[in-house]
Amino acid sequence: MNQILNFRSPNLILAGFGAAEKLGPEAKALGAKSALLVTDKGVADSGIADTIKSILVKEGIGVEVFSQVKPEPDLACQDACIAIARKGKYDLIVGLGGGSAMDVASVTAVMLTNPGQVTDYVGADLIKKPGIATILLPTTAGTGAEVTPNAVLSDPAAKGKKVIISPYILPRIAIIDPYLHISMPPSVTSATGMDALAHAVESFTHFTKASVITDVFAKEAMIMIGRSIRTAVAKGENLEARYDMAIGSLFAGIALANAGVNGVHALSYPLGVEYHVPHGVANGLLLPYVMEYNVIGNIPKFAAIARCLGEDVEGLPLIEQAYAGAEAVKSILSDMKMAHSLTDLKIPEEAIPAMAKAAAANTRLLSVNPRAMTAADVEGIYRNCL
């Protein structure tokens, strides 16, 4: 009751089937004359980038394409995009793809108006000026990057992640069109979907920033994702399931942007940095085990999670309801045939102490976990994942 509520989002969110068609008129309304379309090779090869380019060209906007964004983009990839953007004198950056492409697009936009190097802005609220206009269009349902003030880049030399947090990372416009998601293969659908589910669960149980506002978005995200993720993986052309996943991911991203994540993400980073496990796969594997550990930190909320995920917990003691949420997530992973263990990911048991040390050092995330977590606790969770 004593909490001062904060809420941030892009200036405009357009969501629904056919929303991408609004890109051209919205870009024109921003006064754009020359745009850099930032994407990855997969999206470019699929033809989606050409479709988005044609929507802009139809409005008389010149478009160049940077399609060299890599999964888990590193600083070199980011610098390459910035170099292209500085030469082109663009007045609009359009990010098209998953979280990697959208993060690179957002950072590029702010680096066109702020001096120095990308690494000068690693941390929170260090960017001094807004970037040039950005419009972000996700082609996956999971990362939430189109509505979050965070950008994450890999730093291979430091074997870690560089996170830039600023309201200036938020785009001017976010466009979520489920039609752009239909070509996602099952493996990407499941991984990004589990990433979105982790965002919803963690923001809902965030120790300091969960609020009545973020809870509304997080709960609805869990309901939509819980009822549709299996179907979206099993039959990608199912429009109802794709809609639920697109809007569920959007809502989870909004909750994430205004509350945040905690233990699952802290434990997932070492898997990505050391073993190149895709972010969503790592989050999906760890989510139920971290949930089990966290249950006693907020029993009522974990019981609510079980209900959001469709578990029939009526009449059960509250503590049993709470643990049912983790079982629901395990069932989802099993049905989608996702990795169930570190062994599935070929991560040896002897790697656990080093991973636990790295995860435990992430005090930014662990300090807001719903239950206190030591290095020994982290190691225990990893061992439960064997």
pLDDT at 72: 87
- Domain boundary assignment for the chain: 12-181, 186-384
Q: What is the mean pLDDT of residues 229-234?
A: 98
Q: Would you give the end-to-end CA distance of the chain in angstroms?
A: 41
Q: Which residue type, as a one-letter code, is found at position 12?
A: L
pLDDT at 360: 96
Residue 3 has pLDDT above 80, yes or no: no
Write out the DSSP string of 292-304: HHHGGGSHHHHHH
% of residues, the chain, pLDDT over 90: 94
pLDDT (tens digit, 9 = 90+) per residue, 172-229? 999 999 999 999 999 999 999 999 999 999 999 999 999 999 999 999 999 999 999 9
Q: Which residue type, as a one-letter code, is found at position 155?
A: D
Residue 1 has pLDDT above 60, yes or no: no
Q: What is the mean pLDDT of residues 78-103?
A: 96
pLDDT at 157: 80
pLDDT (tens digit, 9 = 90+) per residue, 56-79? 999 999 999 999 999 889 999 999
Q: What are phi and psi of 379, to 5 degrees?
A: -60, -40
| CATH class held by domain 12-181 | alpha beta
Write out the DSSP string of 218-263: HHHHHHHHHHHHHHHHH-TT-HHHHHHHHHHHHHHHHHHHHT---H
Residue 147 has pLDDT above 70, yes or no: yes
% of residues, the chain, pLDDT over 70: 99
**Band (156; pLDDT cuts 50, 70, 90):** confident
Residue 2 has pLDDT above 70, yes or no: no
pLDDT (tens digit, 9 = 90+) per residue, 173-188? 999 999 999 999 999 9
For residues 270 and 277, give the distance between their C-alpha atoms in angstroms, rounded to a whole number. 9
Right CATH for 186-384 from 3.40.50.2000, 1.20.1090.10, 1.10.645.10, 1.10.540.10: 1.20.1090.10
Name the nearest CA neighbour of 49 among 60, 38, 57, 58: 38
C-beta atoms surrounding 21 within 10 Å: 15
Angle between the 299-308 and 212-234 helix axes, to the nearest 10 degrees?
40
Do 186-384 and 12-181 fall under one CATH topology?
no
Taking a C-beta distance cutoff of 8 angstroms, is the pair 291, 330 a contact? no
pLDDT at 271: 94
For residues 126 and 243, give the distance between their C-alpha atoms in angstroms, rounded to a whole number. 36
Q: What is the mean pLDDT of residues 272-291?
A: 94
pLDDT at 4: 81
Q: What is the mean pLDDT of residues 83-104?
A: 96
Residue 40 has pLDDT above 70, yes or no: yes
pLDDT at 321: 98
Q: What is the mean pLDDT of residues 372-382?
A: 97
pLDDT at 154: 86
Residue 155 has pLDDT above 90, yes or no: no
Q: pTM of the entire structure?
A: 0.95
C-beta atoms surrounding 358 within 10 Å: 20
pLDDT (tens digit, 9 = 90+) per residue, 319-361? 999 999 999 999 999 999 999 899 999 999 999 999 999 999 9
For residues 307 and 295, give the distance between their C-alpha atoms in angstroms, rounded to a whole number. 14
